[in-house]
Chain A
C-alpha cells in the first residue's frame, strides 16, 4: 500500500458512490411523506384523549422514542415476515421474504416518524392560542373547519423549524440501512472499500455527500421559513 489516500482513487469512486444517493432519497421522501400523514393522525388522536386509544398511543410513542431506530429497523426487517408472512401469503399472495429490504426500512422509519413528528405536531397545535379556535367557532365554523383552516396552518408555522431538523435527521439516519443489506451511499463506500482495500477515499466521498445534502436540506427549510408570511411579515 503506497499511500493512505490518493486523489485519483477518490475521483474514481466518487461518481459510483454518489449514484447511490437515489436510494437515500427514495427512503427519505417516502418515509417523510407517509410519516407526516401518520404523525398528523397521531397528534390529533392524542389531543382528543379518547380513553383506550390514548393508552395505546402512549405505549406506541414510548416504544418508538425509547428504542434505537436501528433496533426498530431490525424488528421490522426480521419480525414482520415472521409474524405476518402467512397472513400476507394467504390474503394477497405476497411472499414477504421476497419483498425488497428497503420496504421494511421504510416501514420502520414511517412508524418512528409517526411518533416523533406526532409529538412535534401535538406541541405545535397546543401552541396555537385557544382564542383562535373560539374566534373560528364564533363566526359559525364547524370544529373541523376551525381545525383545518385556522389552527393547523398556524401550528404548521410553529412546527416547521422542528420539522426541518427532523427531516435532516432522517436523511442522516438512512445511513443505517446498509446494516440490513440495502446499498445506499454509505453502503457503496463500504463495499468499494472492501473490494479495493482502500477505504478512506470512499468514506470521504460519503462524508462530503452527506454534508452537502444535509446543508442543502437545511437551507431549503430556512428558505421556506423565511418566505412563509403566514401572519408575521415584517412591518411595512
Chain B
C-alpha cells in the first residue's frame, strides 16, 4: 500500500502541489487525470524522489517516510520497490533493448547474467519485441521503445509501477499497441499509478480515477462516477472538453 499525505511542492514561487493526499491499495490501478500544469506529473515524480517534495508524508509498504527529510537508504528502498515508465521512454541510449531490461536485474538486484537474460527475454517477448532485443533505442519506433520501457519496469517485479503519460509522446498509430501492453500489466495485478490523457483507456483499466487541477485533488472515484456523474463543476468542464459529447450517445 502506498499512501501520501499533505504533499507540497513549489518551483520557485510557482506552487505546483498544494497539499495533495492519495492512497493506493495493493493491486489497485489508479489513474490521475487533469489539465497540463495541474501537478500530476510532479506528484508522480515525488513518489520515487525524482522530485523532492517540500512537505508531506509517505507510507510505502511498511515504511513511513518524511518526503522532505528522507535518508538516501530509504530513497533507494522506494526506487528498488517501484518502477517508472517515462513519457519520453528513458531507455539507456547506449544499451540494446535486452541490455536495457537486464541492467536493473544484474546491477541492482545482483542477479547472475544467465538468469537476468532469461527474465529479460521473457519480458521482451511478453511485450512482443523479442525479435528486437539486440536493437538500440535509436533503431526502434516510439511505440517499441515505450514497450521496452514497460518490459524493463515489469522485469524488476516492483511493488508498484508509475506511468508518466506513457503514450503522449507517441503518434496516434502507435498509441494502441502501447496501451494494449499497459492493459496487460494491469491484468497481472501489479499496483499501478498512471498519469494519462487517454480517457477510454482510463475507463477500461482504472479501479479509481483521481482528477487533479491547480495542484489539488478535485475529485476522485470509480471511473463510471467520474466520467458520467462528476460531482464537481471543474471536472465536468474538463471532461466535456476532452471527450466529445456524442461519444456517450452510442
Contact = CB atoms under 8 A, between A and B. Distances in A.
B104 to A, nearest CB: 4
B57 to A, nearest CB: 21
Interface stretch (A91-99, A100-108, A128-136): A128-136
Contacts of B92: 132, 135-136, 150, 231
Interface string A110-141: 00000000000000000000011011111111
Contacts, number: 73
Interface in B118-147: 135-139
A218 interface: no
Contact of A157 (B50, B94, B104, B138): B94
A67 interface: no
A142 interface: yes
Interface of A is mostly: helix
Contacts of B136: 229, 231-233
Contact of B83 (A132, A138, A157): A138
Nearest to A236: B139
Contacts of B49: 137
B165 to A, nearest CB: 14
A137 B92 CA distance: 12
Interface residues of A, number: 24
Interface string B87-130: 01011111100000001100110000000000000000000000
B76 A140 contact: yes
B211 interface: no
B152 interface: yes
Contact of A138 (B50, B88, B107): B50
A190 to B, nearest CB: 47
Interface string A197-217: 000000000000000000000
Contact of A230 (B91, B94, B135, B139): B94
Contacts of A135: 84, 86, 90-92
Given A231-B137, A233-B136, A236-B139, A139 B94 contact: no
Contacts of B94: 150, 153-154, 157, 230-231
A184 to B, nearest CB: 38
B76 A134 contact: no
B156 interface: yes
Residue of B79, B93, B95, B108 with most chain A CB atoms under a 10 A cut-off:
B93
Contact of A140 (B93, B108, B137): B108
A131 B49 CA distance: 14
A132 B95 contact: no
B80 interface: yes
Interface in A4-36: none
B235 interface: no
B48 interface: yes
B80 A140 contact: yes
A62 interface: no
Given A132-B93, A236-B139, A141 B50 contact: no
Contacts of A136: 92
Contacts of A140: 76, 79-80, 104, 108, 156
Contact of B156 (A132, A137, A139, A142): A139
A145 B107 contact: yes
Given A231-B137, A232-B136, A154 B93 contact: yes
8 contacts: A136-B92, A137-B48, A138-B84, A139-B103, A141-B108, A231-B136, A232-B93, A236-B135
Interface of B: 48-50, 76, 79-80, 82-84, 86, 88, 90-95, 103-104, 107-108, 135-139, 152, 156
Interface of A: 131-132, 134-142, 145, 149-150, 153-154, 157, 229-233, 235-236
Given A131-B90, A137-B79, A231-B137, 4 more contacts: A132-B92, A139-B83, A139-B152, A145-B107
